[in-house]
Amino acid sequence: MTIPTLPESVLLAITLLEQASFEAYLVGGGLRDSLLGLQSEDYDLTTDATPDEMKYVFSGYRIHEIGIDHGTLQVIIKGMPLEITTYRSDGLYLDHRHPQSVRFSRSLSEDLARRDFTVNAMAFHPKKGLIDLYGGRQDLQNRCLRAVGDPLERFHEDALRILRALRLASKLDFSIESATSKALFQESRLLSCIASERILKELLGILKGKAAGRIIMDYFSVLLCVMPELNEKDAEAIAKAVEQVRSVSHCQLAALFHRTRPDERRDMMKRLRMDKRTSQKVLKVLEGYSQPLPQELPAIRRFAGQYRDVLRDIISLKEATSDTQHLSAFRKKIKVIAQRRDPLSLDDLAVDGEDLLQEGIPNGPEIGYVLDKLLELVYEDPSKNTRRSLLAYASEVSKNGSQ
Ligand code: ATP
Ligand code: MG
């Protein structure tokens, strides 16, 4: 297993804390991923310095008090944000998510004991080496997630760990040790105690992971606790679609929801507090997906114009769900349309509303009506997309009236 080479900013943070007589170690995902030889997304450090003591040590650096009540400061060192947390032990958990209180501690082992999985509960120091009290290194070698301590208790304390387990197993393509896995199923109803934003964040992490398909299949009943609109009998189809679809979140979400009704997916996205932009994209992908692919050129142009921003996602989802009727012919025609730069939406027309006003078409709904007619015209025959032809046609349709 790789000996982690720590970024300069991590080494400097450890040195600065030690020069002030404190202890400091790299912990969490940064260490886990480095040991696996993976590029880390972020680095967490743990120290016996309290937040006030840390503020003193890092007084020359930019500090953000991102979780000061839980002992966490973000310190920017050489442009890299580091999350540094005081050793702590958690009090009782009464709401299945947050400890009633946290107590700062001077003991590294106490701090490691509160962490979720053995592979996340190691600490590393460039000179002292790896501190591994729970067999995390062995579990890393076996590519296995195992709760620290009694898994039932740990999931009961904080149900978010259930989704963290699925997200990490998906990201790293790890198995979940059997007692941990069993406990996770057993406690999954407690997911109702977790805030929607956190659920969504972990869900997106699960979908993005390289073992997303397997995790969805194996833990479908857990996902049902947060998305009861999904149907158990669709598990396999959903897993396959998520795994094969384009790796962008709105497309993966569309794959996840592709067997549901529009009202069901709307409810789920609302409940998960998904941002408007993403949810609209998901709905649009699924709306386009639900339609048979057109085969005639004008209809293809109309379809491509209507779903322009998600066309790739619709094709990808059709492919991933083996809904491939007419797909290759459709793709070929889309390619030709793109190469010829056929007009697909109002923005592509050689005239705009302003031009129509100048032609004497009255302001108001008639402008929209005529523009739509022009678009229909160029869908049929893109060569008509010239100012001259369009203006001539505009006055013709306008004379005929917008009724
Ligand atoms: P990544 O950053 O790759 O998403 P991570 O494991 O670093 O994964 P963070 O949320 O950054 O996740 O948390 C850092 C560390 O804090 C974890 O590795 C773990 O030791 C501990 N931790 C985070 N959340 C929990 C939790 N809910 N219960 C127990 N320990 C946790
Ligand atoms: Mg992290």
Q: Is residue 403 pLDDT above 60, yes or no?
A: no
pLDDT at residue 153 in the model: 96
Is residue 319 domain-shared with residue 395, that is, in the same domain?
A: no
pLDDT at residue 324 in the model: 86
Is residue 34 domain-shared with residue 137, that is, in the same domain?
A: yes
Cα–Cα distance between 349 and 399 in angstroms, integer? 20
Cα–Cα distance between 248 and 350 in angstroms, integer? 33
Sign of CA dihedral 296, 301, 303, 307: positive
- Please report the atom of ligand 1 found closest to the CA of residue 28: 18
- Determine which of 89-93, 219-223, 344-348 has the lowest per-residue pLDDT on average: 89-93
- Determine which of 103-107, 138-142, 279-283 has the lowest per-residue pLDDT on average: 103-107
DSSP letters spanning 366-395: HHHHHHHHHHHHHHH-GGG-SHHHHHHHHH
- What's the CATH code of the domain at 110? 3.30.460.10
> Is the CB of 67 inside a 6 Å radius of any atom of ligand 1?
no
User: Which of 118, 232, 117, 124 shows the shortest CA–CA distance to 165?
Assistant: 117
Per DSSP, the three-state class of 244 is helix
User: Which of 246, 169, 162 shows the shortest CA–CA distance to 214?
Assistant: 169
pLDDT at residue 173 in the model: 98
Which residue has the CA at smallest separation from atom 1 of ligand 1? 29
- Please report the atom of ligand 1 found closest to the CA of residue 161: 27
* 247-260 average pLDDT score: 97
Q: Is residue 56 pLDDT above 80, yes or no?
A: yes
Local confidence band at 326 (pLDDT 50, 70, 90 cut-offs): confident
CB neighbour class for 291 (10 Å; exposed up to 12, middle 13-18, buried from 19): exposed
Interval between CA 182 and ligand 1 midpoint (Å): 21
* 208-234 average pLDDT score: 97
- Last residue of some domain: 99, 125, 142? 142
Q: Is residue 1 pLDDT above 70, yes or no?
A: no
Cα–Cα distance between 147 and 155 in angstroms, integer? 9
Is residue 300 domain-shared with residue 397, that is, in the same domain?
A: no
Interval between CA 91 and ligand 2 midpoint (Å): 22
Per DSSP, the three-state class of 95 is coil
Is residue 314 domain-shared with residue 360, that is, in the same domain?
A: no
């007009």: which residue's tokens?
343
Per cent of the chain over pLDDT 90 is 89
pLDDT at residue 276 in the model: 97
Q: Is residue 400 pLDDT above 80, yes or no?
A: no
Q: What are phi and psi of 168, to 5 degrees?
A: -70, -40
Element (H, E) at 74: strand 72-77
Interval between CA 120 and ligand 1 midpoint (Å): 7
pLDDT at residue 174 in the model: 98
> Is the CB of 39 inside a 6 Å radius of any atom of ligand 1?
no
Is residue 296 domain-shared with residue 397, that is, in the same domain?
A: no
For a ligand 1 pocket test, name from 45, 47, 116 the mutation site with the most ligand atoms within 8 angstroms of its C-beta: 116
> Is the CB of 83 inside a 6 Å radius of any atom of ligand 1?
no
Is 251 domain-assigned? no
Local confidence band at 39 (pLDDT 50, 70, 90 cut-offs): confident
Is residue 335 domain-shared with residue 365, that is, in the same domain?
A: no
Is 194 domain-assigned? no
Cα–Cα distance between 378 and 43 in angstroms, integer? 55
Interval between CA 25 and ligand 1 midpoint (Å): 15
Is 75 domain-assigned? yes
Is 171 domain-assigned? no
- Please report the atom of ligand 1 found closest to the CA of residue 115: 30
Ligand whose nearest atom lies closest to the CA of 123: 1
CB neighbour class for 282 (10 Å; exposed up to 12, middle 13-18, buried from 19): buried
Q: Is residue 273 pLDDT above 60, yes or no?
A: yes
Q: Nearest-5° angle of CA 28, CA 201, CA 90?
A: 45
Interval between CA 336 and ligand 2 midpoint (Å): 46
Two tokens at 101? 């209180």
> Is the CB of 29 inside a 6 Å radius of any atom of ligand 1?
yes
* 84-90 average pLDDT score: 94
Ligand whose nearest atom lies closest to the CA of 29: 1
- Last residue of some domain: 142, 162, 187? 142
Q: Is residue 96 pLDDT above 90, yes or no?
A: no
pLDDT at residue 2 in the model: 65
Cα–Cα distance between 261 and 233 in angstroms, integer? 15
Is residue 395 domain-shared with residue 296, that is, in the same domain?
A: no
Is residue 115 domain-shared with residue 46, that is, in the same domain?
A: yes
Exposure b/e, 186-219, CB count within 10 A at least 16 = b: ebbebbeebeeeebbebbbbbbbbebbbbbbbbb
Q: Is residue 229 pLDDT above 80, yes or no?
A: yes
Is 258 domain-assigned? no
Helix axes 249-257, 311-320, angle to 10 degrees: 50
């203006």: which residue's tokens?
391
User: Which of 121, 116, 154, 119 shows the shortest CA–CA distance to 139?
Assistant: 119
* 295-313 average pLDDT score: 96
Is residue 131 domain-shared with residue 68, that is, in the same domain?
A: yes
* 309-318 average pLDDT score: 97
Q: Is residue 231 pLDDT above 60, yes or no?
A: yes
Would you give the DSSP letter of residue 363? S
Is residue 352 domain-shared with residue 336, that is, in the same domain?
A: no
> Is the CB of 154 inside a 6 Å radius of any atom of ligand 1?
no
Q: Nearest-5° angle of CA 196, CA 197, CA 198?
A: 90
How far is Cα of residue 352 from the mean position of the Cα atoms in its chain? 38
Cα–Cα distance between 395 and 390 in angstroms, integer? 9
Q: Is residue 67 pLDDT above 60, yes or no?
A: yes
Specify the pairing of strand 80-86 against strand 88-90: unpaired
Is residue 316 domain-shared with residue 355, that is, in the same domain?
A: no
Local confidence band at 92 (pLDDT 50, 70, 90 cut-offs): confident
User: Which of 125, 131, 130 shows the shortest CA–CA distance to 11?
Assistant: 125
- pTM above 0.85? yes
Is residue 386 domain-shared with residue 317, that is, in the same domain?
A: no
- Last residue of some domain: 142, 175, 196? 142
Is 65 domain-assigned? yes
Two tokens at 257? 């929801």
For a ligand 1 pocket test, name from 26, 44, 66 the mutation site with the most ligand atoms within 8 angstroms of its C-beta: 44
pLDDT at residue 325 in the model: 85
Ligand whose nearest atom lies closest to the CA of 194: 1
Alpha helices in 45-120 (DSSP H): 51-57, 108-113
Average pLDDT of the chain, as a whole number? 95
Q: Is residue 399 pLDDT above 80, yes or no?
A: no
Per DSSP, the three-state class of 114 is coil
| Number of domains making up the chain | 3
Residues spanned by the domain of 393 = 346-402
> Is the CB of 281 inside a 6 Å radius of any atom of ligand 1?
no
Interval between CA 315 and ligand 2 midpoint (Å): 35
Is 284 domain-assigned? no
Contact between 173 and 213 under an 8 Å Cβ cutoff? The reply is no
For a ligand 1 pocket test, name from 43, 83, 120 the mutation site with the most ligand atoms within 8 angstroms of its C-beta: 120
> Is the CB of 161 inside a 6 Å radius of any atom of ligand 1?
yes
Two tokens at 320? 């991933």
pLDDT at residue 183 in the model: 98
- Please report the atom of ligand 1 found closest to the CA of residue 160: 27
Interval between CA 30 and ligand 1 midpoint (Å): 10
Q: Is residue 402 pLDDT above 60, yes or no?
A: no
Local confidence band at 109 (pLDDT 50, 70, 90 cut-offs): very high
Interval between CA 44 and ligand 2 midpoint (Å): 6
β-partners of residue 88 are 104
Per-residue pLDDT reduced to its tens digit, 372-384: 999 999 999 999 9
Is 246 domain-assigned? no
Per-residue pLDDT reduced to its tens digit, 191-207: 999 999 999 999 999 99
Q: Is residue 401 pLDDT above 60, yes or no?
A: no
> Is the CB of 116 inside a 6 Å radius of any atom of ligand 1?
yes
Contact between 345 and 308 under an 8 Å Cβ cutoff? The reply is yes
